[in-house]
Amino acid sequence: MAHEAILWERLTPDDLRVRCNLCSHRCVIPPGRQGACCVRENRDGVLYTLVYDRTIAQHVDPIEKKPLFHFQPGSRSFSIATAGCNFRCAFCQNWEISQMPREQDLVTGSPATPRQIAQAAVRAGCASVSYTYTEPTIFAEYALDTAREAVMLGLKNVFVSNGYMTPELLSLMAGLIHGINVDLKAGRGEFYHRISGAALEPVLANLERIQQLGIWLEVTTLVIPGLNDTEDELRWIARYLYDKLGPDAPWHISRFYPQYKLAGVPPTPAATLERAWRIGREMGLRYVYVGNVPGHDTESTRCPQCGTVVIERNGYQTAVRALAGGMCVKCGTIIAGVEMP
Say whether residue 36 binds ligand SF4 (CB under 6 A): yes
Stretch that binds ligand SF4, among 35-43, 51-59, 66-74, 270-278 (CB under 6 A): 35-43
191 Rama class: left (phi>0) / alpha (psi -120 to 50) / beta: alpha
Q: What is the DSSP letter of 136?
A: G
Say whether residue 101 binds ligand SF4 (CB under 6 A): no
Q: What span, in angstroms and rounded, lies between the C-alpha atoms of 199 and 197?
A: 7
CB of 84 to ligand SF4, least distance (A): 8
Coil/strand/helix, residue 171: helix
Stretch that binds ligand SF4, among 36-44, 125-133, 220-228, 242-250 (CB under 6 A): 36-44
68 forms bridges with which residues in the sheet? none
Say whether residue 102 binds ligand SF4 (CB under 6 A): no
Q: What span, in angstroms and rounded, lies between the C-alpha atoms of 295 and 288?
A: 15
Stretch that binds ligand SF4, among 23-31, 66-74, 218-226, 294-302 (CB under 6 A): 23-31
DSSP 78-142: EEEE-S--S---TT-TTHHHHSHHHHH-----EE--HHHHHHHHHHTT-SEEEE-SS-GGGGHHH
Of residues 42, 72, 86, 298, which one binds ligand SF4 by CB under 6 A?
Answer: 86
Q: What span, in angstroms and rounded, lies between the C-alpha atoms of 45 and 32?
A: 9
Of residues 25, 66, 76, 185, which one binds ligand SF4 by CB under 6 A?
Answer: 25
Q: Which is nearer to ligand SF4, 20 or 276 (CB)?
A: 20
Query: Integer distance in angstroms from the first to the last C-alpha of the chain?
Result: 41
Say whether residue 203 binds ligand SF4 (CB under 6 A): no
Q: What span, in angstroms and rounded, lies between the C-alpha atoms of 191 and 197?
A: 9
Of residues 80, 92, 127, 138, which one binds ligand SF4 by CB under 6 A?
Answer: 138
Say whether residue 20 binds ligand SF4 (CB under 6 A): yes
CB of 133 to ligand SF4, least distance (A): 17
CB of 16 to ligand SF4, least distance (A): 16
Residue type, 179: G
Say whether residue 40 binds ligand SF4 (CB under 6 A): yes
How many chain residues bind ligand SF4 (CB under 6 A)? 12
Of residues 3, 10, 17, 26, which one binds ligand SF4 by CB under 6 A?
Answer: 26
φ/ψ (deg, to 5) at 218: -125, 150
Q: Which residues bind ligand SF4 (CB under 6 A)?
A: 20, 22-23, 25-27, 35-37, 40, 86, 138
